[in-house]
Structure 1
Amino acid sequence: MTSPGCPASEHGTAPVPLSGPRFATEPATLYREMRRDHGAVAPVVLDGDIPAWLVLGYRELHQVTGDPALFSRDSDLWNQWENIPADWPLLPMIGHKQPSILYTVGERHRQRAAMISHALEAVDPFELKAHAEQFADELIDGFCGKGECDIVADYAMLLPVRVLARIYGFSDAQGPGLVSAMNDMIDGRERALAGQQHLARSMVELLAAKHTAPGEDVASYMLQDPSGFTDEEVAQDLMVMMAAGHQPTADWIGNSLRLMLTDDRFAASLFGGRHSVAEAMNEVLWEDTPTQNVAGRWATRDTRLGDRHIRSGDLLLLGLAAANADPQVRTDASVLTGGNSAHFSFGHGEHRCPFPAQEVAEVIARTAIEVVLDRLPDIDLATTAAALTRRPSPWLRGLTDLPVRFTPTPAL
């Protein structure tokens, strides 16, 4: 952190680049080293040598996410905007003057969060599970006769969007296009912009249709909210919900199946049982959470956090994975048992993932895993655990592929 006004050098420690292969290959070790060398709050640099703080400590993260007056979600506060080029690759993630729930604060944010929560709460959980089962069966029908597949590319990365599209109010015919758009955006390659444009255009068209013929779906419920949100605001929030609901849920499915296929503790579930599916999913949220780091919060005034001097306008990144592994709270493995959900994988505070959204994600992920185990009872890893690779990202942790084999079975 060498930018003017940056506090990186106060402890004589060089900032850590928030990039590189270790975030994919050995993040737990990397976070331990960062905690050892820098403490609970570590100086980091983003693309372009832009300074920020990564909050590694569980208690410190609880403090930051629980005090929106001191650590705001208002990105306008950032003291680095003058150093950010127009083509900075992290702009879509950091956000600036975006009309979505991610960057509203105060009462307006609470109203938007309530709108989203009420709309998702109206989704019938039994219908949601039935939707997930239907799409899961359709996807498995496409490869069950081959005896092998990539369970990430052929299944996990295709399922969440289809379910979300249906409950949001899209027709099933629009589902495949939305899947392609979302996965193009995730790839971050030349088709990312086209994917984003397709998603935005689809949301505008969806809302126009629901004004004319509202239905029992999330988009219609949001339009009916009495708080008076514009179509642009609703469309932006639907896009955020689609993105936040797709990739982390797909990675939750993939990471959980990887654990069950590589850890003998879950062998029973792979042979006709389901009792360990919830345990595997919960362990992933603690140990291998899909959302590793999140941007961000901005200090509204000079303060101290974890023995660090945080200046007004400094960006703080939420180290969810590091906080989950904080030895100050992880005294033994008991946190993984009994459904302990004190992890930070869904965030904390008023900007955390809404509880109804968590429930939707859990139903989709658990159903996806259970249907695989029912349909392909002898599923097994088609490579070694050591050969599995992750996307090289410090933000979202997921497998690039998960090759499996099984006895070919007929489609339903």
Structure 2
Amino acid sequence: MTRSPSAEPAPDAAPPSGCPAAVPLSGPGFQIDPQAVYRAMRRDHGSVVPVELPGGLPAWLVVGYREIHQVTSDPELFPRDVGLWNQWPHVPDDWPLLPMVGRPLPSIYFTAGEEHRRHVRMVVPALEAVDPFEIRGHCEQLADRLIDDFCARGAADLVAAFCEPLPVLVLARLVGFPDDEGADIARVLKDLADGGPEAQSAHQRFGAHMARLVAARRAEPGDDVTSRMLAFPEEFTDEEYMLDLMAITAAGHLTTADWIGNSVRLMLTESDFADSMARGRRSVADAMTEVLWEDGPTQILAGRWPVRDTRLGERRIKAGDLLLLGLGAANTDPLIRQG
């Protein structure tokens, strides 16, 4: 990452040769009607779409269900190893999507192979030790608190006042934060996910929260995820603990917040669904299942990087090209919706 943000894109940062012009991965269409955007992409480019990220960086958006299944089922050919990305010489240090795409760092989310499995051995038991009834209790208590707060005001933006804060407040408790830090972590993760000018500073603030938590739980262990990670017998650095906690919290919060928000919108704005709930034919669980197919919380996920030149769909993919998983588009792929 050596060039300045104002420098011109390098020649090999252009769209892959032999492909139609890359589609800018931005614009109001993604917020207003993303499925219309995906249909146009599939019509014009097929199941693997050449796209352009902010700053002129090229990538492939995989919108075909079969192709996403192929990529995610073959971690040897398509590992989640950001260090393989062939565009690193052209990525500015302040690129706003960098916190979401990732850097070559020793984290459970940004490593592959044995290094990834080493982190899994430490993180998974720490998470699995959480009592599901404890999680339910936290969810109910914190949800009641949020609802009581906006009921007292008489009006609310349900996304900002309920859907976004609830998951991170629960996660904050589980990893070992006091409740008064949960609200700030929620703001940090919102800035991070937006991918705007505040994303880089939000990522730094997020790391600072986790560094303080690691230090606090090392000094005074408790019954929480962080303490169990620190007690794991294999040796890890403080940076590794911090990065893994960031991955756990971000992955658990961002997807859950959007899932709750999309489910609430379905229940409140789709009259047929709301009527079926009122008559007892549908449930909240039905709404949340439908949302996973029709309006999933993660539309596009970065990423995978092939270890060698290969073919995917009708495309020739070079080693180190960034593959973005178009989960929202794949769920509406006509090949799996026929009949």
TM-score, length-normalised on structure 2? Answer: 0.90
- Work out which of the residue numbers 101, 110, 119 in structure 2 matches 1:103: 110
Residues 3 and 291 of structure 1: is their aligned pair in 2 closer, same or farther, counting only changes over 3 Å?
Answer: farther
Other structure's SS at 1:54 match: strand
Q: Quick one: which amino acid aligns to residue 12 of structure 2?
A: P
Other structure's SS at 1:71 match: coil
Residues 285 and 103 of structure 1: is their aligned pair in 2 closer, same or farther, counting only changes over 3 Å?
Answer: same
1:2·1:8 contact (CA, 8 Å) conserved in 2?
Answer: no
Matched with 1:365 is none
- Work out which of the residue numbers 83, 89, 104 in structure 1 matches 2:96: 89
Other structure's SS at 1:260 match: helix
Which protein has the bigger helix share?
A: 2
Q: Quick one: which amino acid aligns to residue 160 of structure 2?
A: A
Matched with 1:138 is 145
After TM superposition, give the deviation of residue 18 of structure 1 in Å: 0.8
Other structure's SS at 2:320 match: coil
Q: Quick one: which amino acid aligns to residue 157 of structure 1?
A: E
After TM superposition, give the deviation of residue 249 of structure 1 in Å: 1.2
Distance 1:7 1:144 in 2: 51
Distance 2:28 2:119 in 1: 37
- Work out which of the residue numbers 18, 33, 42 in structure 2 matches 1:26: 33
Matched with 2:327 is 320
2:77·2:306 contact (CA, 8 Å) conserved in 1?
Answer: yes
Distance 2:155 2:103 in 1: 44
Which ranges of structure 2 fall in alignment gaps of 5 or more residues?
1-8
- Work out which of the residue numbers 4, 16, 22 in structure 2 matches 1:15: 22
Other structure's SS at 1:328 match: helix
Matched with 1:36 is 43
1:3·1:51 contact (CA, 8 Å) conserved in 2?
Answer: no
Query: Within 5 A, what are the aligned runs for 1:221-300?
Result: 221-268=228-275, 271=278, 275-300=282-307
Query: Within 5 A, what are the aligned runs for 1:185-204?
Result: 185-187=192-194, 192-204=199-211
Distance 1:115 1:272 in 2: 47
After TM superposition, give the deviation of residue 306 of structure 1 in Å: 0.3
After TM superposition, give the deviation of residue 266 of structure 1 in Å: 2.8
Superimposed CA distance per residue, residues 382-402 of structure 1 (whole angstroms, 9 cap, x where no aligned partner):
xxxxxxxxxxxxxxxxxxxxx
Identity value in percent: 56
1:269·1:277 contact (CA, 8 Å) conserved in 2?
Answer: no
Other structure's SS at 1:291 match: coil
Which ranges of structure 1 fall in alignment gaps of 5 or more residues?
333-412
Distance 2:232 2:279 in 1: 44
Bigger relative CO (Cα 8 Å, ≥ 6 apart): 1
- Work out which of the residue numbers 214, 219, 222 in structure 1 matches 2:226: 219
- Tell me whether 1:114 sits opposite 2:101 in the alignment: no
Other structure's SS at 1:14 match: coil
Once superposed, what is the RMSD of the aligned Cα atoms? 2.3
Matched with 1:123 is 130
Distance 2:62 2:273 in 1: 33
- Work out which of the residue numbers 328, 335, 338 in structure 2 matches 1:331: 338
Matched with 1:389 is none
After TM superposition, give the deviation of residue 132 of structure 1 in Å: 0.7
2:63·2:326 contact (CA, 8 Å) conserved in 1?
Answer: yes
Matched with 2:12 is 4
Residues 184 and 301 of structure 1: is their aligned pair in 2 closer, same or farther, counting only changes over 3 Å?
Answer: closer
Q: Quick one: which amino acid aligns to residue 238 of structure 2?
A: D
1:304·1:310 contact (CA, 8 Å) conserved in 2?
Answer: yes
Q: Quick one: which amino acid aligns to residue 4 of structure 1?
A: D
Distance 2:273 2:260 in 1: 15
Distance 1:270 1:194 in 2: 43
Distance 1:282 1:115 in 2: 31
TM-score, length-normalised on structure 1? Answer: 0.75
